[in-house]
Chain A
Amino acid sequence: QVQLVESGGGVVQPGRSLRLSCAASGFTFSNYGMHWVRQAPGKGLEWVAVISYDGTHTYYEDSVKGRFTISRDNSKNTLHLQMNSLRAEDTAVYYCARDQRIFGFGELCGYWGQGILVTVS
């Protein structure tokens, strides 16, 4: 079955960097777009970034453009989110999610990881 396991979260000071990873299994990773979605404490879901199945297309939510970079290693079935210049408002649980459609550019989330907490303080 599809499994997505996030890692790399923790407490970090404002202005510092953190790199999240998401290990994927149970499906052909290189066939699916992948998303990062976050949820601040007590708030709703906020889409952060997406990368197409082949890594050629990436899109970002406006507040993270220029600070966050989404990438993937299809040989290792792993998704990454490099987060630089972190701010207090980036504090959230970060979820990785697999696209719902095969060979898509990453439109809708179809499977979710369990999430990882990032605290900027």
Chain B
Amino acid sequence: QLVLTQSPSASASLGASVNLTCTLRSTGTTYAIAWHQQQTEKGPRFLMKVNRDGTYIKGDGIPDRFSGSISGAERYLTISSVQSEDDADYYCQTWGPAIRMFGGGTKLTVL
């Protein structure tokens, strides 16, 4: 069984850093995850893939202020020097045998 859990909301002041968390619970092998951003009234955008060893591969044109990491069951998306355009919903995604799934999403509000 595979479960992805995200906090429903988070906030950060303009120029500050913020960590968004995705908790991955699996009864079997754990896999890489992806982070996606969805701004209001827009389609999602792939931000990055975070591998099991904590390395990450970003999508085309994703700014340097976005990074990923892992610690135990936690998968992190870090946004340093938050900008107003980072105000959006953020989803983690993972996969397993015959299943793919998204976390419930975190709404990031930039103050």
List residues of A whose CB falls within 8 A of some B CB: 1, 35, 37, 44-47, 50, 59, 95, 97, 100, 106-115
The closest CB in chain A to the CB of B91 belongs to: A45
* A44 to B22 CA separation, bound complex (whole angstroms): 14
Binary contact track B71-111/A, C-beta < 8 Å → 1, others 0: 00000000000000000010101110011111111000000
- Name the 8 nearest CB pairs between A and B, nearest first: A108-B34, A44-B105, A107-B95, A45-B102, A47-B100, A112-B44, A59-B98, A114-B43
* A96 to B84 CA separation, bound complex (whole angstroms): 28
B95–A112 CB distance below 8 A: no
* A90 to B13 CA separation, bound complex (whole angstroms): 37
Kindly list chain A residues whose C-beta atoms are within 8 Å of the C-beta of B94. Answer: 108
Binary contact track B26-38/A, C-beta < 8 Å → 1, others 0: 0000011110101
What is the number of contacts between chain A and chain B, taking CB atoms within 8 Å?
64
Kindly list chain A residues whose C-beta atoms are within 8 Å of the C-beta of B104. Answer: 44
Kindly list chain A residues whose C-beta atoms are within 8 Å of the C-beta of B46. Answer: 100, 109-112
In angstroms, how far is the closest chain A Cβ from the Cβ of B54? 16
Kindly list chain A residues whose C-beta atoms are within 8 Å of the C-beta of B103. Answer: 44
The closest CB in chain A to the CB of B50 belongs to: A108
The closest CB in chain B to the CB of A93 belongs to: B43
B102–A106 CB distance below 8 A: no
* A69 to B59 CA separation, bound complex (whole angstroms): 29
The closest CB in chain B to the CB of A1 belongs to: B60
Instruction: Describe B's contact surface by its main secondary structure.
Output: strand
B100–A95 CB distance below 8 A: no
Kindly list chain B residues whose C-beta atoms are within 8 Å of the C-beta of A1. Answer: 60
In angstroms, how far is the closest chain B Cβ from the Cβ of A83? 18
* A35 to B102 CA separation, bound complex (whole angstroms): 13
In angstroms, how far is the closest chain B Cβ from the Cβ of A60? 9
* A97 to B98 CA separation, bound complex (whole angstroms): 17
In angstroms, how far is the closest chain A Cβ from the Cβ of B104? 5
B43–A107 CB distance below 8 A: no
* A45 to B36 CA separation, bound complex (whole angstroms): 10
* A20 to B31 CA separation, bound complex (whole angstroms): 30
Kindly list chain A residues whose C-beta atoms are within 8 Å of the C-beta of B89. Answer: 44
A47–B102 CB distance below 8 A: yes
